[in-house]
């Protein structure tokens, strides 16, 4: 399929596809007339990019994983991949912790604000916000 169809299929812009190609993430087949054809391999790679981006991987990390995937299987390649995954797992775990705490805090804030009780609970709400901020700072350290 051509770039417009490919971009539409994955709900991204053609500029995004061109950028991924320029960065060495996608390798469409180039025809004699200069048109690029995005095949099943490109579709597989695009799905992987979308999933990894959603998980918080940077484009550089994705490129590194795609490069490792193209190499012959080896202990060194496996070790590098596992290290990258370990780092990302720790990041996601930290994010999960923050969002779980934030969800509880927001639910409690909603309870404090119910029935026009904001004025009486303003100090408690400020404390919840401070707690969320402190958790966010811990995750950055």
pLDDT digits (tens, 9 = 90+) for 123-137: 988 998 888 888 878
* CATH number of the domain located at residue range(s) 1-58 in this protein: 1.10.1660.10
Cβ atoms within 10 Å, residue 57: 20
Position of tokens 């048109």?
A: 35
pLDDT in tens, 46-88: 999 999 999 989 999 999 999 888 888 889 888 988 999 999 9
Instruction: Write a three-state SS string for 45-81.
Output: HHHHHHHHHHCCCCHHHHHHHHHHHHCCCCHHHHHHH
Give start-end residues of each CATH 1.10.1660.10 domain in the chain.
1-58
User: For the whole prediction, is pTM greater than 0.95?
Assistant: no
Residues 6+ apart with CB under 8 A from 129: 105
């Amino acid at each position: 399929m051509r770039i417009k169809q490919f971009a539409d299929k994955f709900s991204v812009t053609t500029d995004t596809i061109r950028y991924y190609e320029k960065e060495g993430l996608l390798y469409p087949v180039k025809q004699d007339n200069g048109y690029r054809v995005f095949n099943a391999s490109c579709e597989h790679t695009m799905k992987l990019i979308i999933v990894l981006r959603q998980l918080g991987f940077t484009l550089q990390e994705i490129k590194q994983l795609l490069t490792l995937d193209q190499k012959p299987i080896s202990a060194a390649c496996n070790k590098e991949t596992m290290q990258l995954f370990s780092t990302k797992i720790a990041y996601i775990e930290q994010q999960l912790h923050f969002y779980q705490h934030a969800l509880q805090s927001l639910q409690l804030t909603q309870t404090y604000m119910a029935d026009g009780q904001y004025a009486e609970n303003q100090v408690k709400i400020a404390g919840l916000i401070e707690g969320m901020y402190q958790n966010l700072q811990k995750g950055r350290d």
